[in-house]
Amino acid sequence: MREKGLGRILTLFFTPVIASAIYILLMVWLMPNDLLKIIGFLLLSYFISPFGREVLIPLTVIALLELHGAGHMAADIFMIVVTIVFVDVMCSIFLLWNLDLLKVVPKLGGWIDGIEKFGRAKLKKSRLRRIGLFAGLITYDALPFQGTNGAASTIVGLLAGMKKTRIWLAVWIGSVIGALALSIASFTIGQQFMLDIFGTATWKAVSILLTVGILIFIILNYYRSRQRKSENLN
C-alpha cells in the first residue's frame, strides 16, 4: 500500500469510475431515447441489482422486440453484449486494481494475502494447472448463473493465485461468450422459455451454491496446506 503512493491509489480507484461515467454519457448522446431507456436499464440493473445476465438479457430482448421488432436483431445482440461485457470488464479491473486495499484490514488482509500466495505457488508448479484454471474461469464467467459475472470471477481468480492479466482476459472471453449465447438464445429459442428456466428459485439456489462451493474449495485447500506444514514442523 505505501509503495503505491496516494496519487497512484487514487488513480487506480477513480479511473474505472471515470471511464464508466464517460461511457454512460456517450450512450446518452448517441442513443435514441426509447433505446436508451432499455439499454440503460440493462446496464444499471446488471451493475446494482441481484439479477444476473441470465434473467436481464431475456427481459431486455422482450423490451427490444416490443420497441422495433426482430428486424434489428443483429444490432440488438451487439448492444446487449457490449453492455454486459462493459460492466463485467469495469468491475473486474476495479477489483484487480483495488482489492489490495482490503489487505490493510487487520487479519482479513493477512488471510487474503496468504490464500493468494498459496494459489500462486501451486500454479507455478504446473503449466497444465494454469491452463486448466484459465479455461475454468472462462467457463465459470460464461455460465448463465446468478453471480457468475466479472466481479465474482475476478475474486475467484485472485484467490486462486492467477495473474491479473490472465484474470482480465478470462473475464473478457467468458463475458462475451456468455452474453452472446444468452442473447442469441433469447431471440431464437424464446425469452419466456429462458425466464422459465433461469428465473426459478432452484436455479438461483444452484447459482449461489456453485460460487460458494468454489470459494470454500479454495479456502479449504489453503487451510489444509497450512495444517500439513504445521504437522511437518512438529
Distance (Å, whole) CA 85 – CA 147: 14
Question: Model confidence over 10-30: pLDDT tens digits?
Answer: 888 899 999 999 999 999 999
**How many other CB atoms are found less than 10 A from the CB of residue 65?**
17
Round to the nearest angstrom and report the end-to-end CA distance of the chain.
35
If pLDDT is split at 50, 70 and 90, which confidence band does 4 have? low
Question: Model confidence over 34-67: pLDDT tens digits?
Answer: 999 999 999 999 988 878 899 999 999 999 999 9
What are the distances in angstroms from CA 190 to CA 30, 62, 202? Answer: 29, 9, 20
Angle at Cα 136 formed by Cα 121 and Cα 112, nearest 5°? 40
Provide the residue type at 108 as one letter: L
Spatial CA neighbour of 183 closest among 83, 86, 92, 89: 83
Identify the pLDDT of residue 107: 73
Identify the pLDDT of residue 174: 95
If pLDDT is split at 50, 70 and 90, which confidence band does 134 have? very high
**Global confidence as pTM:** 0.90
- Higher-pLDDT residue of 2 and 121 is 121
Identify the pLDDT of residue 231: 61
Question: Model confidence over 158-169: pLDDT tens digits?
Answer: 989 899 999 999
Angle at Cα 188 formed by Cα 187 and Cα 193, nearest 5°? 85
Identify the pLDDT of residue 222: 82
Question: Model confidence over 186-228: pLDDT tens digits?
Answer: 999 988 888 888 888 888 888 888 888 988 988 888 888 877 7
Q: Does 234 have pLDDT greater than 90? A: no
If pLDDT is split at 50, 70 and 90, which confidence band does 6 have? confident
Spatial CA neighbour of 156 closest among 145, 175, 141, 142: 141
Identify the pLDDT of residue 233: 60
Coarse DSSP helix, strand, coil percentages of the chain, rounded to the nearest 5 percent: 85, 0, 15
